[in-house]
Structure 1
Amino acid sequence: MPRMESLKGVEVMETMISLERALEVVLQRVKALGVEKVGLGQAYNRVIAADVQAPMDMPPFDRSPLDGYAYCAQPTDKAPLTLNIVSEIPAGTWSEREIQLGECARIFTGSPLPKGANCVVKQEDTERLGDRVRINQPVAPQANVVYQGEETKCGDIVLKVGDYLSPAAVGLLASLGVEAVEVYRRPKVGILSTGSELRDVGSPLPPGKIYNSNTYTLKGLLLEAGCEVKVAPFVEDDLGETIEALKTLEDTDLVVTTGGASVGEYDLIRDALAGVGCELLFWKVNFKPGTPVALGVKGERLYFSLSGNPAAAVVNYELLVRPALRKLMGRTSHERVFPVYMDGDFGKSGKQRRFLRARAVFRNGEIWADPSFAQGSGVLRSMRGSHLLVDVPGGHGPVQKGERLQGRWIASWEED
């Protein structure tokens, strides 16, 4: 059972809980944001809030999928078949000329099929003879025709509530003439990095200081996820300054902090969360890297306190923050967990569950995970080029090449 604990006077609901329990706590507190209607050009990476019905057939007419000649094929046609060319139909034009037996129309990819024609023969299977064409390989009736409504019929539900608007989905709506769509509002997310050791990019770096990378990394991840981002200037390890910085983020839907989440004398974030009126729901989740992650709540706003170690902060984000964002944005699908085979060894063993960063290698229809990076919690370079988090159970022992474990994708929001 999770422990109840009080730290520095801050009441903690649960400590050192499993990832599954942490996700349960997170998702119980999250609900989808409000709905707005946006033009199609602003719909990328949004989530559908109302089913979308096709307002028309697609295609809206019988059309050719290739360049060639349209004619009325008969089951008894023999090669070679010579026809008179009576019209030419470029894409975007319409011909009223009805095709009779012994006739054909020159036609192009996307062109509407003329009246009387029931097939299209590929240009490569023909030979042009002035105003006539010789068909060396006649085709059967209905060959090479995309019929009206074959892709989508008027009234079909083409996108459902919770569907993600990828570029392909937006393109589908455009092909149907849909101008605007109802979507869930973008989450507005605040970022605060803390730590007296931090300096901003562009400033001199005195001894003992490091540049603040977490703000830049998290901002990129949040923008990639389709969020609006508000960044508070980072603060040193000062309780009052940290509380004031958190107050500047109270116009957001969710807050992410990094640093100050561990057990040292200068780890102040839990006290700061209490100082702005948060209830602390949990502290410490039983996995590495990033064990000292915490979650607070004030009203409907969640406050995620992530590890200050750069790679650990990204793992915290992937495992806990991103699922919350998906639900805030109205996603109805669950993130996928799938089997992977190890493409290299990992020599460490430990009592805690561990998530290894790895490249995905596709081999014989299977996903292999290459963990040949430094795996330390502060090694941000290990996240660059990583596609997977590989789940190594607690007490597992060293990981062997060829071993089968469970993995999940990093960063990109895969489509349903």
Structure 2
Amino acid sequence: MAAADVLPPEPEDRVLGASTADQVLERWHGFLAESSQLLKAQLDPPALQRRLPARRQLLNPEAEAGSVESASSRLHLASTPLGRVVYSLAASVQEARRCIRAAPELYRAVAVFGEARGVSPDEDSLQTPPELLVEFAQLLPQLRAMRQLLRRVEAVAVNLLRQLAGQQAMQASQGLQGLTRQPLRPVLDVLSELLLLPVHLDGLALENGRLRRTFASYSWIVTQASTPGSALPEVPQAAALKQELQEAAALVQGDAFQICLANICQGAAQEKLEGIREHFLAYFRGRLEEEPCGPVAASQLWLPREALVPWVCCFVLHVRLFTRGRDEVKLLGEAWKMHKKSPSVVLYGRVVWCLGDFVQSYLPELVAEANLKKELEDLSNLRLKQAERLDDGSFIQELKEAPGCGGEDMASI
């Protein structure tokens, strides 16, 4: 028997960092499957029916009769205000899905940066190895593509908010029927998942110390080379390269989510969003009242751990968009009470942020209003405990078994 028949096949995609993080994200995508199917069923554009080949319709007239009738009814619906609202939301949701599908390939370049070099004894030295500088120069196109992707994320998020506000205003003025019973949940699920993209990028950047050190060295070299009278040789198109590095600084330093929040709020500042505030609150409350299997448990509020990550991201955007009130303070207090003992924000790799750390970074005023400041004073120890619980000791075991890391010194850990 050949060796290839004995050994298990190598996985096509290597697991990035702790496998637990990827499993959490996988469970979250599974959790959204039901909402995605519902959205697809409700927001299916009639253009798909019009694209059916004429030959297929001629060969199968009986099979196509039902679809033709369905297309006719949908075309009639598209001429109504309700239909236009639904189809515009469908287009924005599809664009959001494209952004979500395009993100992993771009993020992988950041996740594996510097791994080909392996562990180096002079890793913490002030001098950056030339190999890393060359690798960072090759990474610049990916960073440029990431900035373009984040701009798309911001535009799609603003468009979703604008359309939701327009739908609510039209419903209030014309009394539209059909969008009254939790119609926005699939759309808000997609918006929450869309907001995860900059958070994942922040996690990769914060985890990869080599990337940040190499970026600092590369920026210093470009700055010195573009200075008149410098001893370094002149870099071609140094001004354009310097400008590109300034734009990439926010991504490398882990500020992508902060910038996305600011740009989304700025883009939606001219919109009248107060009409959808109650929809957001109902969505947050509904998500808090769910069990892993899906049924509502009104007596015991709970939220699946993997669903808490996008919940928090969308909640932060909600607080930035609207004036803080008692409802937001109460929701934050309940979420913290339920999940302060659970690892909640899991990024690629081994970066773990608990719920308190996340809201303290992005919503410090709301933390003070919710009287959580004292509980969050010892947040660093809580974060370490959560990371240890999530990792289940596997990271420490890897350090002990890794060659040249001083396994005998790790015995006390």
TM-score tier (shorter): under 0.3
Q: TM-score, length-normalised on structure 2? A: 0.26
- Structure with greater strand percent: 1
Larger radius of gyration: 1
